[in-house]
Structures are given as structure tokens and as C-alpha cells.
Amino acid sequence: MLVWRGKVPGVSSPLSLGTFVKQVTTSIPTRFRPHRIATKTLTTTKVLNSSYFETLNPLQKQQISLYVDALLQWNQKMNLTAVTKADEVMERHVGDSLAMIPPIQSSYIAHCDSSCNDISLVDVGSGPGLPGLILAIACPSWKITLLESMNKRCIFLEHAVSLTGLSNVQVVRGRAENLGQNIGFREVFDVAVARAVAEMRILAEYCLPLVRVGGLFLAAKGHDPQEEVRNAERAIQLMGASVLQLCSVESHSPYGQRTAIVCLKDRPTPRKYPRDPGTPAQSPL
């Protein structure tokens, strides 16, 4: 099990939080709630009513503060996010990322293992580390792989990992289609997650080949993903999985909620998937 034992570079005391963290603490969505989906193949999640930001210790909050500062600073030189203010980064990106933890934990405990302490998780199309790097801070016993195809974003990710002192993260530059056919990455992860990367039927082909049989794939989606999920049912089934549930989480969106789509992989993915790089997006299943 990997446990955080590091010290944040340049920070003398984990208790010396600046006003930034105090400000942003109040802007994080505080409740998670269930949402019933009117589709016969989908089940409803349990009540998810905890805020992970509030449960973070001072060191973890400080790590998030360092990450947000670095993201905004590097964003002036390279395109990492459209968001330019710290409180917006906290609400939209950090809050959204933390909101994935309750569905991951409750689904994993219910369908994979009674303990979710040492999950290996891959964040596909991590960009600037969302949600994967935030999950690595919030869940230091998880082993996180940040998969990103763009070199300059990987350079930022390496910087952010070093800055925050995280020891439970690896950054992998590559395309999901290639890693899914690589024996070192194929069907090895307990959980795959993705946020803002592609529509669900494409994401299924990117992510599910990386997940072990018996593992989970969770996609962070908008407030009303039912049609997207229906369009992806064939692709998900071809990858050896099925949709378990749609979990709603309170969010910054105008509709006040976003959805985590949870899929369970119960069979191996056929060897021919994922197809060559570019094919899943050009010819979705």
C-alpha cells in the first residue's frame, strides 16, 4: 500500500494555510445526492452525502492549493484550462474531481472488493491532472496513473507531482489506444476514470481495455447523459462491460448536478479492441 509520507517542498508547516484555502473551502459543493434514472437497465446509487474537501487534512488542502497555483501559473504559457480564477478552478475542477470519490468508493465496495484502500486507477486523457491528480491527493493509498497524449501537458503533470510531493502517481505519455494493446497496461487497473475527453461510446473503447475483469470504469458527464449512455451501450457491451448505475453529484453546473456513469467489466475485452489510434473517434462503435 502506498501511503503519503512526503513533505511539501517550500512549505514549513502544514498548518500555515493561507487565506486562499480558507476562501475556497466555502465554495466546494458540500453534498452529494442520488438521482433516479428512468432507464430500465440502470440502477440507482446509494445516498452519497459527504464532502471530500472537508475531510481532507491540512497537508492535503495545502497540496491542492499548490496545484491550483501552479495550474494558473502554467496556464499563462500553455493551454491547460479555460478557467483563469482560483475559486473557479476549485469549484469546477477540484470540486468535480473530488465528487467522483463517493461513486468510486461505493461502487467498488459493492461490486469489486469490500476494501477500496489500495485501488490502482488510471485517469485517461488526464490533461492537467483532472480528476487523477486530485484523487491522488485525496486518496494517498490509491496508486494513480495519469495517461495523457500531449507531451507539454505531461511536463506540467510531472511538475505538479513533484511540487506536491506525491509518491503514489505515475505520469504516462501515450494514447489510450496504444496502451490498451500494451501488455503492461492492458486489463491491469482496478478502475479507469475519464472526464471531458470524448463521448461515451469512444471513451468505452479508450478505457475499458485497461480495466481488469471485475473492475470499474467511471465517466464524469453532464447533468443529462441518458441518451449518450444509450448510444454507448453496444460499445460498452463489446468491451466486456455493462452500465451499473448513473450517480448524480451536486456541482457547479447550471443544472446543479453532474453524473458519474459507472460500468462494471465482467468479461475480457476481445483482442481486436482498442482499434488503431484515431479509429475509435473516427468510427465509434
Ligand X SMILES: C[S@@+](CC[C@H](N)C(=O)[O-])C[C@H]1O[C@@H](n2cnc3c(N)ncnc32)[C@H](O)[C@@H]1O
- Site for ligand X, rule CB under 6 A: 125-127, 130, 147-150, 153, 175-177, 195-197, 206
Q: Is 13 helix (H, G, I), strand (E, B) or coil?
A: coil
In angstroms, what is the minimal distance from the CB of 224 to ligand X?
Answer: 18
Judged by CB, which is closer to ligand X: 15, or 183?
A: 183
User: Which residue number has the CB closest to ligand X?
Assistant: 127
Judged by CB, which is closer to ligand X: 177, or 250?
A: 177
CA angle (125, 129, 130) in 5-degree steps? 75
In angstroms, what is the minimal distance from the CB of 150 to ligand X?
Answer: 4
In angstroms, what is the minimal distance from the CB of 17 to ligand X?
Answer: 25
Q: How far apart are CA 242 and CA 217, in angstroms?
A: 10
In angstroms, what is the minimal distance from the CB of 38 to ligand X?
Answer: 27
Considering only CA atoms, which of 207, 201, 225 is closest in space to residue 264? 207
Judged by CB, which is closer to ligand X: 17, or 150?
A: 150
Rg (the chain; Cα; Å): 18
Judged by CB, which is closer to ligand X: 108, or 185?
A: 185
Considering only CA atoms, which of 121, 103, 130, 51 is closest in space to residue 243? 103
Q: How far apart are CA 45 and CA 36, in angstroms?
A: 8
Judged by CB, which is closer to ligand X: 42, or 217?
A: 217
The owner of cell 451501450 is: 233
In angstroms, what is the minimal distance from the CB of 148 to ligand X?
Answer: 5
Residue type (1 letter), 243: V
Contact by Cβ (8 Å): 30, 51: yes
Say which residues have a Cβ less than 8 Å from residue 147's Cβ, sequence separation at least 6: 122, 123, 124, 125, 126, 172, 174, 176, 179
In angstroms, what is the minimal distance from the CB of 189 to ligand X?
Answer: 14
Judged by CB, which is closer to ligand X: 99, or 197?
A: 197
Judged by CB, which is closer to ligand X: 42, or 148?
A: 148
Considering only CA atoms, which of 141, 62, 59 is closest in space to residue 104? 141
> How is residue 217 written as a grid cell?
470504469
Q: How far apart are CA 260 and CA 269, in angstroms?
A: 22
